[in-house]
Structure 1
Amino acid sequence: MAVVTVRNPGTGEVLGEVPATDAAQVAATVERAQQGQRAMAATPAHERADLLRRVADRIEAEREDLARLLAAENGKPIQQTRGEVEAAIRIFRGYAGEATRLFGRQIPLDAVPGLEQHLAVTVREPLGVVAALVPFNYPVELYAHKAAAALAAGNAVVVQPPSRCPLAMTRIAAMVQDAAPAYAHQVVVGGPQTSQQLAELPGIAAVTLTGSTAAGREIARRAAGTLKKVFLELGGNDALIVCADADVEEAARAVVLGRLARGNGQICCAVKRVYVQSPVHDAFVDALVAQTAKLTVGDQLLESTDVGPLIAEEAAGRVLDAVRTLVADGARLVAGGIRSRAFLDPTVLVDVPADSPAFAEEIFGPVAPVARFDDPDEAVRLANASPYGLHAAVFTRDISRALSIARRLDVGGVVINGSTALRAENLPFGGTKDTGGYREGIHDTVLDFTRQKTVVVMDAFR
């Protein structure tokens, strides 16, 4: 049997193995999921809620072990993986509550002449089997959003974990499988071919993916053959706009904490482009470089580490290549830019040409490119020029200016005087354009994973 070997990206140490799932096994898994789907659809809402709460309790009981395992396999510092596991606990409990709030509607038919005596109501029903495709950067948290939402709505779920760091997620998946009806929750392990097969199989009713825009396009194309629902949360190239009246120390801190020292820069909603108004440009860069110099790069299992290894050496190499391309285009390197295996020192670039093609692409690592602007209208134009539209941020003391800029930014969310690397589970999260258009969150996803059925009672009011 083929296996996937999981290693610590910083040391190369083998952490474990998981069996790979071949195409025949994937098809059999989806076939079995139909049985699990029938069982979940027949499970009362209060029992689905209890199931999710029991899972949350089990995660909580093992949260430190899970956080350490996740840090070891993923590379994020231990303090951040603790936060990710805590988020997963909240998400499972949040969806437990949502399971009991799948409300229908009574629609007044007396709004239509001749239908005054009839009664119409809607009910929420599960979609069917949901395929959940989970990325490497926040595997536990994003798995929770997808699997817990599917189960809360009465669906079965087939989950594909990230092949580079599946261990913590599959340990939690085992807890879910213990609590759920047989075949209501199953895991398949593989690469892009597995994702594509799930998108094509007619036994899958919906696919939810967090990943790259290229992957999202391919999944959508393959899913179109069976007209299944597709929920895509894809790439981002978030802009942070620093106006002349901003607190430059706080703005620099937002870049450091929301980009360089959060998830090792491997976050779709991290600050990836910084536009600074000319009067405060130099002061902002000085603050950013000074704060960046205080970050500690090293072993992700040490409490003192701010930035750990990227998910793989190849990933760090790609990020460094992007840095070199920006320098070749005219940017100036003022901090970092040094790679050692999977580790990349937090990097700051200034004088970045706003029209550089590399500036328009998503750089998935601890890199902060800074460009200059003169007028806020110019900053809005530059921010909107990206093909992505996840988040953006604005730093200014003028709330009217902040709201005006926020209104004109073509993105899914705007943070005022803070980092774009903000995701609360009860907020709708997603973006526009090549980011996919979907919104994920406990109040939204559970509804998206249901369908409405209309029931009409003729002559109910005779």
Structure 2
Amino acid sequence: MHTQTSLTALEVVNPATDEVLGTVPDLSVEQVDGIVARARTGQRIVAAMPAHERARLLNDAADRIAGERDQLARLLAAENGKPCAQTEAEVDAAVRIFRGCAGEATRLFGRQIPLDAVPGLERHLAVTVREPLGVVAALVPFNYPVELYAHKAAAAIAAGNAVVVQPPRRCPLTLVRIAEILLEAGVPEEAHQLATGGVAVSQRLAEHPDVAAVSLTGSTAAGREIARRAADTFKKVLLELGGNDAMIVCEDADVDAAAEAVVLGRLARGNGQICCAVKRVYVADAVHDAFVDALTSQAAGLVVGDPIESKTDVGPLISTDAAEAVESAIARLVEDGARLVLGGERDGAYLRPAVLVDVPTTSPALAEEIFGPVAPVARFSDPFEAVDMVNDSPYGLQAAIWTRDVQRAFQLAHRLDVGGVVINGSTALRSENLPFGGTKDTGGAREGYHDTVLELTRQKTLVVMEAFA
């Protein structure tokens, strides 16, 4: 990270213990402008590298990150609150993403377009080439900061761009160390920089005329603000925003496995703070009671505690404020007629995983994204009605269908207005080589190392007149 003085510093606090882990600079707008100016120089350096050299740098960085996997995972668990087993998996995913983007750097293919399709142009030749966009701003969220950083930063460098990364305000320290690792791997300092700070940093990067693209994973409200600020300079905006993923459990489903998918993919993954976790469960009347029994019995066995402890399934949320917001959402569901049958107790930033039943499908609280370990369960009688309930949401990230009937699965999936459908599994599924994103207020972008690298390039058309004269 480029060393800068700053008038103020931001404390990074362990949400499990309230221990201060360190500080990072809270950069001013002027300092952000200086970072972007250096990034323009860095982008020219990276763009001049042959593809095999960019691939080598990314593979070297991946090897070095893998070499520090355990230390990075422990630091991430301390500052983020997720159990160590999950942060280890996150660092592993980042390593795979760096290696995947390294391969994509060597596969930025152009096209040869036959001009003899147009009368009078038969003797000419047209080809396209892929070129980098310029300086890319990567705005990274707190819930999966290392993995989502990798999707943005590694793809940007693979395509020949420079990247300015804004780490999450509450857990930036792991990315600070990874930035140092990239320097050690030989990535030019100007081409990979961190801009730490709060909302003012994000806003300046979005509106800066020398930033060619901004990639944000975050809330829908943040996405709207970033898009508005980016509009004046016509930069490319890639948004992966809120989600309110639903699961449809049909009468022929394996209810025990479906319940386990909710427990492991929602209540015990990322402490419930995942955009693609199941946040609404619609269960057929015929299997409702059996499903709820399975869900509550499995969820009751989850261990809530310090994320550093190996026995912990669910750690603290990112802050006490975040836990209080989830607690309030549970209270609103109960006020609307839902019944809390398990959990929901809060202790500081900790919140015991909650299961609610008899949730009215018209409850405004059910339409909101609850960012914590909460599983609201509603009923349906007709699976196609359930599809309408799922689609009656401003979000459209992913959805899950549980049924043994393949034809029904595809019929329902085809009608769901979402970016991805998981059949007989949890929506908390994100494979780095698949396009990931959603419809409506989820933002519309797709992220995955193949898709992202392409998104961070532009096409140029070259025409050779009389090439076949």
TM-score interval, normalised by the smaller of the two chains: over 0.9
Q: Secondary structure at the match of 2:315?
A: coil
1:419 is the counterpart of 2:431: no
TM-aligned CA deviation for residue 182 of structure 1: 3.5
TM-aligned CA deviation for residue 337 of structure 1: 1.1
TM-aligned CA deviation for residue 21 of structure 1: 1.1
1:406 is the counterpart of 2:389: no
The AA in structure 2 aligned to 1:34 is R
Counterpart Cα distance in 1 of 2:126 and 2:183: 38
Aligned partner of 1:109 in structure 2 is 115
Q: 2:308 aligns with which of 295, 301, 305?
A: 301
8 Å Cα contact 1:177-1:186 kept in structure 2 = no
1:38 is the counterpart of 2:44: yes
Aligned partner of 2:145 in structure 1 is 139
The AA in structure 1 aligned to 2:129 is V
Give the total of aligned pairs: 462
1:282 is the counterpart of 2:271: no
Unaligned runs of 5+ in 1: none
The AA in structure 1 aligned to 2:84 is I
8 Å Cα contact 1:91-1:145 kept in structure 2 = yes
Aligned partner of 1:344 in structure 2 is 351
Q: Secondary structure at the match of 2:190?
A: coil
1:169 is the counterpart of 2:170: no
Q: Secondary structure at the match of 2:71?
A: helix
Aligned partner of 1:199 in structure 2 is 206
Counterpart Cα distance in 1 of 2:39 and 2:267: 41
Counterpart Cα distance in 2 of 1:9 and 1:87: 24
Counterpart Cα distance in 1 of 2:28 and 2:15: 25
The AA in structure 2 aligned to 1:6 is V
Unaligned runs of 5+ in 2: 1-6
Aligned partner of 2:71 in structure 1 is 65
1:54-453 to structure 2, matched below 5 A, reads 54-178=60-184, 179-453=186-460
Q: Secondary structure at the match of 1:414?
A: strand
Q: Secondary structure at the match of 1:183?
A: helix
**Per-residue Cα deviation, 1:55-78 (whole angstroms, up to 9, x for no partner):** 001101100000000000000000
Aligned partner of 1:47 in structure 2 is 53
Counterpart Cα distance in 2 of 1:66 and 1:216: 29
TM-aligned CA deviation for residue 177 of structure 1: 3.0
Q: If the length of structure 1 is used for normalisation, what is the TM-score?
A: 0.99
Counterpart Cα distance in 2 of 1:209 and 1:122: 28
Q: Secondary structure at the match of 1:154?
A: coil
Counterpart Cα distance in 1 of 2:253 and 2:115: 55
The AA in structure 2 aligned to 1:365 is G
The AA in structure 2 aligned to 1:10 is A
Counterpart Cα distance in 1 of 2:180 and 2:141: 18
TM-aligned CA deviation for residue 379 of structure 1: 0.2
**Per-residue Cα deviation, 1:126-148 (whole angstroms, up to 9, x for no partner):** 00000000000000000000000
Structure 1 runs of 4+ with >4 Å offset: none
Q: Indicate the RMSD between aligned Cα atoms, in angstroms.
A: 0.6
Counterpart Cα distance in 1 of 2:36 and 2:175: 20
TM-aligned CA deviation for residue 363 of structure 1: 0.1
Q: Secondary structure at the match of 1:226?
A: coil
TM-aligned CA deviation for residue 174 of structure 1: 1.6
Counterpart Cα distance in 2 of 1:191 and 1:372: 42
**Per-residue Cα deviation, 1:149-193 (whole angstroms, up to 9, x for no partner):** 000000000000001000111111122234212301110011111
TM-aligned CA deviation for residue 377 of structure 1: 1.1
Counterpart Cα distance in 2 of 1:248 and 1:34: 54
Q: Secondary structure at the match of 1:103?
A: coil
**Per-residue Cα deviation, 1:262-312 (whole angstroms, up to 9, x for no partner):** 000000000000000001000000000000011000000011100000000
Aligned partner of 2:4 in structure 1 is none
Counterpart Cα distance in 2 of 1:34 and 1:297: 46
TM-aligned CA deviation for residue 17 of structure 1: 1.2
**Per-residue Cα deviation, 1:81-137 (whole angstroms, up to 9, x for no partner):** 000000000000000000000000000000000000000000000000000000000
The AA in structure 1 aligned to 2:270 is G
Counterpart Cα distance in 1 of 2:255 and 2:379: 14
